[in-house]
Amino acid sequence: MRMSKLFFQTLREAPADADVRSHQLMLRAALVRQVAAGIFEYMPLGLRVKKKIEAIMRDEMDAIDGQEIVMPVVQPAALWKRTGRWYEIGDDLARLTDRNGRELVLGMTHEEVITELAAGVINSYRQLPVMLYQIQTKFRDEPRPRGGLIRVREFTMKDGYSFHPDISSLDSYYPLVYQAYFNIFGRAGLEVIAVESDTGMMGGTMAHEFMALTEVGEDTLILCDACGYQANRQVATFVKPEDESRAEEEALPLEEVATPEVNTIAALAEFLEIPESRTAKALFLVATIEEDGQEKEQFVFAVVRGDMDLNETKLTNALKARQLRPAQVEEIRAIGAEPGYGSPVGILRDEVLLVVDDLIPRSPNLVAGANRAGWHLRNVNCGRDYQPDLTADLVAAAAGHSCPNCQAPLNAVRGVEVGNIFKLGTKYSEAMEAAFLDEDGGSAPMVMGCYGIGSGRLMASVIETNNDDNGIVWPITIAPYQLYLVSLATRRTPEVTETAEEVYAQLQDAGIEVLYDDRDERAGVKFNDADLLGIPLRLTIGARGVKNGVAELKLRRGDEIRELPLDDILKHVQAVIENEENAILDKVISEPLT
């Protein structure tokens, strides 16, 4: 491709809207443009990267017997009503009505459609297992798109769905996808780690997220350097700090203490001169719980120790709740509690589901609120002063906590979720009546898995982790072009243009992807654009070199400049490209899932 013909415009300065590095670079390098919040268009260079990423996805999906299909973006609401997600999912699901008043949705994922498709085609266990995937546009009306392509509303996703005759078939297939995912990210030059994750609205029994470690990530990961434990903060566990000396402590009498204007744990600990671990934190929430097929709202009073944070995912799971929201002040008062001074002692127990973290019964004589402003209670003891309805692990693991496997201190890092895999089980096949006849002639629902990767988010994550002050540093496997050919010709050096044209033709004929800078620009402009665009190889043809029969080769990552003989240039370039490719493939992680 000739730069003189390329549809692009590099920007010297990043648009003020762009905050994160990858977003700035994508705009400056003319990969994408933003059309609206969370909605982007891809320009030629960006689309080439996207296509390369997707080619890798196809390759790896095909390698584990995936078969590519395409499903619609616009889907009938009826499908989503059958699984109940039409009611469960809120405003994230974009809904519309056609001219005849039919309700439609914009697909945010395709379980409903694919399950119906599979149900229509698959009748027999002989047709199983099967893996279907697509690379398709999704739309989620996110409440807050952010970070350029990190979190968007309209995006392209590779989503795959596998169908199995039984759980063991899924169990044996799942690790293949797990490895295929490492292959995809590795080949795209993105370092990721896999963490166990919550199954969330997808349902299912086991799930992993593939995370790119970067500060712009929205997820917090809990890692153990000592033993390799890795989990999303949503599900991470840890060994609760057991204080042996205190566990034996005698329960002391309840005692009210005046604490004017003290309505946070930090202020309370300071005011009473006690550690936060000697206080009880009260949290007021309202859960949506399904009971006898009916949804109802239930006030939930959660108690965790003052030095810990509630993990809402754990609480949601412990309650088997559909949803959880903070309670309103009026709701809190209605059950006899007071915001900022909440206590499990003396509330209207009939209306409240009282849930305590499993550390609370082992922590005697805590300071809790007194359910009236300006007062707290000393020596509150679970079991003596109040009886919880449920005791469970409710708190979030954090840096410094003890690893659940080896007790070493845990680390917390930020990550971007670039892919995920789920064992769905039969949630969708049952709802959609996707059954098959097994060997015994009996009917059984198919067991499903689902597997997603966002193309754009992957691209952004690669840029986020592969750039320097001058621009992007693409892994050669997904770079828009492999080689940037710079012609430094002037009007007085037609031989340079001639040579550059010859080299361009020669490299192109050999199948090398060349971006040829034939513009009438100064050297500095060309070099700076080459750096900004991040093309892995830069080959410069200048007057000096032509005179000596050489061209200069420089790698984007690195400073070394090598002179290559012009009469044998193809061989050298090919060798360097191969070398660069191998350097990336060598880093692909092989991590059998146990």
Which residues, numbered 560-579, are part of the site for RNA (CB under 7 A)? Answer: 561
Residues from 70 through 109 that contact RNA (CB under 7 A): 90, 92, 108-109
β-strand partners of 305: 280
Q: Which residue is it, tokens 């080459």?
A: 530
Q: Taking CB under 7 A as the rule, does residue 524 contact RNA?
A: yes
Using CB under 7 A as the binding rule, the residues of this chain from 207 to 266 that contact RNA are 218
Give the number of residues in contact with RNA, rule: CB under 7 A: 68
User: DSSP for 375-420?
Assistant: EEEEEE-BTTTB--SEEE--B---TTSBPTTT-PBPEEEEEEEEEE
Say whether residue 146 binds RNA (CB under 7 A).
yes
CB-wise, 96 or 406, nearer to RNA?
A: 96
**37 near RNA, judged by CB under 7 A:** yes
Q: How far is the CB of 240 from RNA (least distance, A)?
A: 22
Question: For residue 409, what are the β-bridge partners?
Answer: 402
**Using rule CB under 7 A, residue 144 touches RNA:** yes
Closer to RNA by Cβ: residue 165 or 454: 454
For position 411 contacting RNA by CB under 7 A, the verdict is: no
Single out the segment in contact with RNA by CB under 7 A; choices: 49-57, 175-183, 322-330, 586-594: 322-330
Nearer to RNA, 60 or 159 (CB): 159
Give 312 or 464: the residue with its C-beta nearer to RNA. 312
Tokens read off for 37: 């919040």
* Strand ranges across the sheet with 366-369: 255-258, 375-380, 366-369
* 516 near RNA (CB under 7 A): no
Cα separation, 495 vs 502, whole angstroms: 10
Record the tokens describing residue 168, joined without a space.
């063991």
Q: By CB under 7 A, is residue 508 in contact with RNA? A: no
Are residues 51 and 478 in contact, defined by beta-carbon separation less than 8 angstroms? no
The closest alpha carbon to 305, from 349, 243, 347, 373, belongs to 243
42 versus 125: smaller Cβ distance to RNA: 42
Query: In angstroms, how far apart are the furthest CA atoms of the chain?
Result: 97
Retrieve residue 56's tokens: 């890798």
CB of 523 to RNA, least distance (A): 3
Nearer to RNA, 90 or 511 (CB): 90
Question: Smallest Cα–Cα separation from 331: which of 263, 285, 386, 280?
Answer: 285
- Binding flag, residue 525, RNA (CB under 7 A): yes
Q: Indicate which single residue of 69, 345, 523, 588 sits in contact with RNA (rule: CB under 7 A).
A: 523
* Sequence-separated contacts (24+) of 327-332 with Cβ below 8 Å: 327/284, 327/285, 327/286, 327/299, 331/284, 331/286, 331/299, 332/284
Nearer residue to RNA within complex by CB, 13 or 244:
13
Q: Distance (Å, rounded) from C-alpha 8 to C-alpha 442?
A: 60
Which residues, including other chains, have CB under 8 Å from residue 345's CB and lie 6 or more apart? Answer: 254, 368, 371, 377, 380, 385, 386
By CB under 7 A, is residue 280 in contact with RNA? no
Q: Minimum CB separation from RNA for residue 470, in Å? A: 5
Among 7, 13, 291, 592, binds RNA (CB under 7 A): 13
Q: Least CB distance from residue 505 to RNA, whole Å?
A: 20
- Min separation Cβ 565 and RNA, Å: 14
Between 9 and 594, whose beta carbon lies closer to RNA?
Answer: 9
Q: Measured in whole angstroms, how far is the alpha carbon of residue 47 from the centre of its chain?
A: 21
Among 55, 64, 435, 543, binds RNA (CB under 7 A): 543
Angle CA(49)–CA(55)–CA(57) in degrees, nearest 5? 110
Residue 28 CB, nearest approach to RNA (Å): 7
Give the one residue of 138, 164, 281, 305 binding RNA; rule: CB under 7 A: 138
Using CB under 7 A as the binding rule, whether residue 422 contacts RNA is answered as yes
- Rounded to the nearest 5°, which phi and psi values hold at 232? -65, 145
Binding to RNA (CB under 7 A) within 484-503 occurs at 488, 490-492
CA angle 270, 272, 278 (to 5 degrees): 90
Is 323 a binder of RNA (CB under 7 A)? Answer: yes
Q: Does 324 bind RNA (CB under 7 A)?
A: yes
Reference 312, options 217, 223, 235; nearest CA is: 235
Under the binding rule (CB under 7 A), the answer on residue 295 touching RNA is no
Instruction: Answer left, alpha or beta for residue 504, where phi above 0 means left and psi between -120 and 50 means alpha.
Output: alpha
List interacting residues with RNA (CB under 7 A).
Answer: 9-17, 19-20, 34, 36-38, 90, 92, 108-109, 138, 140, 142-147, 151, 157, 159, 199-202, 218, 312, 323-326, 420, 422, 452, 454, 470, 488, 490-492, 521-525, 527-532, 540, 542-545, 552, 554, 561
